[in-house]
Amino acid sequence: MADRAKSGKELLALVLRILPPGRYYTLKQIYDLLDREGYLLPADLEMHKGETETKAYRRLQNGLRDGAKTRHIQKNQDCRPYQYRVSP
């Protein structure tokens, strides 16, 4: 049985496509935007195995981390929770 939930790489591509560069967002704000705008499928909203968060939330976290490594995403480490933005 294949996992139909989006990967972190797919979620990062969505973030890069829909968020304007320069403005910081928390992970929760980005997740809520993706959910509200209909980018997340029912498979994305399933709970991550043995966890208290959805697959999309966990994978979005991973995608943003990977985007920061490739410098597509900037991470504001001066605040808690961290904030992310598309690199200008």
15 close to 75: Cβ distance less than 8 angstroms: no
pLDDT score of 2? 58
Supply φ then ψ for residue 86, to 5 degrees. Answer: -70, 130
The predicted model scores a pTM of: 0.90
Kindly give the confidence (pLDDT) of every residue in the chain, 88 residues in length, as a single tens digit, with 9 standing for 90 and above: 357 899 999 999 999 999 999 999 999 999 999 999 999 999 999 998 877 899 999 999 999 999 999 999 999 989 888 999 999 8
The fold for domain 8-86 equals Arc Repressor Mutant, subunit A (1.10.10)
